[in-house]
Amino acid sequence: MSEQSPAASWHATTIVTVRKGGKVVIAGDGQVSMGQTVIKHNARKVRPLSKGDVIAGFAGATADAFTLLERLEAKLEQYPGQLMRACVELAKDWRTDRFLRRLEAMMIVADKSTTLVLTGTGDVLEPEHGIAAIGSGGNYALAAARALGDSDMDAEVIARRAMEIAGEICVYTNTSVVVESLSE
C-alpha cells in the first residue's frame, strides 16, 4: 500500500462559470473531502476580489489557492481594470517562482467583460461560449452548462443547475452552492 501525504489525499471541488445575457456567474460547491470522508459541507470557494470588480473560484489545495488569490489581488492592484494583464503576470510568476511552482490549484476569474481559467502550467485561457469549469466535477458541470446554454435560462440558473447535476454525479461535489455574479 502506498503512503500518501495528507495534502495529496484532499479532494473536492467543482467550480463553473457561465457568461450569458450581460451577466457572468461563478458557482462553486462547498464540499471538502479527505479520502472517503467529507470534512466540511459549506466551504466558500467562490469570492469577490478587487473591491467586487472581479469574482474568482478555486479548486485544489486550499492554502495554495489562498496564496494564489492573494497574489492575484496584488496584481489587480498593480494593474487596475486589466484582468487579463494581471492574470498573465500572475501566470508568469506561478511558472517561474520556485515557491509558487509547487502550488496545486486552479482558478476561474471573471470581470464584467472577461472570463479566464488559470493553471499552474502557465495557462491563461479564455473559454469558448462563455462557459468553463474546473475541479473534480468540472467536466460534469461543463457538459451540463453547455447543454443548458442555449435555453431560456439565465446565467445563474444555468450555473446552479450545472452544479446540481455535477453534485449528483461526482462524489467529491455537493449541492451546497455559493454563487457570485457581475453584470455588464
- Active-site annotation, residues: 13
- Residue 65 in grid coordinates: 489557492
Q: Would you report the helix, strand and coil content of the chain in percent, each value rounded to 5?
A: 40, 30, 30
- 49 DSSP β-pair partners: 54
> In this structure, are residues 79 and 89 in contact, taking their beta carbons and an 8 Å threshold?
yes
Handedness of CA 15, 18, 22, 23 (dihedral sign): negative
